[in-house]
Amino acid sequence: MADRKVSGTLEASVVIVTWNGLRHLRRCLPALADQTGVEFEIIVVDNGSTDGTAEWIAETYPRTVLERLDSNHGFAEANNIGFALAQAQLIATLNNDAVPDPDWLHKLVQAAYEHPDAGSFASRIVLDRDPNIIDSAGVVTDVLGIAWDRHNTEPVGVDAAGEIFGACAGAALYRKALLDETGGFDPAFFAYLEDVDLAWRARWLGWTARYVPEARVVHAHSATGTEESPFKTFHLGRNKVWTIAKNHPTRALALFGPLLVAYDLASLPITMARQRNLAALRGRLAGLRSLGPILKQRKRVAARRRVPWEDVRPLVAGPSWPWDVWRRQRRLRQAVAADGSPSTPNAR
């Protein structure tokens, strides 16, 4: 790990956002500090933790760039704050409950050198209970705006390197040029789907994304979230509306809009009954109520497009159905339930 004063030698900056995540950082930071083959800096953005996170980092890892916020600004905005502090031209994001292999960052940086046309790079994220099971191999979205982690719960080995729709921000590498051009994550999202929204906006600007299976991290799935919590369900519902409204082309909305409505009409009652709350509905309504500002953003996104829908469409999946999503959710719950870890649905 390099000192800030030698920023000219830095190949990468790694941004970690945390909120009361000290128990996870005790595993994450030692593994990150021991990365080999690359000069890098670590930036931790502390979202107003009250568990002693900032004090522990300052004492244990004094070379880490520590940005203390007075309150929880959310995953999206806190990462943007970290991006602004980064001195390297390649900026990685890493969840605080992820433990990277010693050559994780080196493999991502190497891929960036080998593919100068790509703007983002996704890691192979595996489950800590069984590292032979994939948690994420990047993100994929379908024409209805449903997004999920590629190859989630599938065995390692099905995930070949290559171009993908976008990177999962739990362990990704972005070019600073991409973040500067797009503005990074949309801070209004707070948490969830901010990486999918960024992937859309980057795609429209002509940036591509690649999957790097050699860059592996082990993830304590949902260690920082509660299973199907109202908070997560609300933000997924709201941010899904925003992502579709901002990014989906008019032709796709006209063609698949009726299917999208049918999907929500079929899935919302079951989701609310299973969770015994109205978070899913409240999220959708919150997204619809704020469509005015979002549609203004849509105009800006559309005005800046450099590539046609025909170039993006091959990377967007066909329409999902509620039972497809429920099957993915069930597989994920089964994959993480054996060790008692909480699980969250992988449909974004």
Report pLDDT digits (tens) over 87-119.
Answer: 999 999 999 999 999 999 999 999 999 999 999
Residue 172 pLDDT > 60: yes
Report pLDDT digits (tens) over 247-287.
Answer: 999 999 999 999 999 988 888 888 888 888 899 999 999 99
CB within 8 Å of 18: residues ≥ 6 apart:
24, 25, 44, 45, 46, 47, 49, 53, 96
How much is the CA Rg of the chain, to the nearest whole Å?
Answer: 19
Report pLDDT digits (tens) over 175-225.
Answer: 999 999 999 999 999 999 999 999 999 999 999 999 999 999 999 865 444
Give the residue extent of every domain in the chain. Answer: 10-219, 230-337
Sign, CA dihedral 237-127-185-120, equals negative
Sign, CA dihedral 328-334-339-343, equals positive
Q: Where do runs of H (alpha helix) occur along 175-304?
A: 176-182, 194-204, 230-247, 250-275, 279-289, 291-303
Architecture of domain 10-219: Alpha-Beta Complex (3.90)
Residue 242 pLDDT > 80: yes
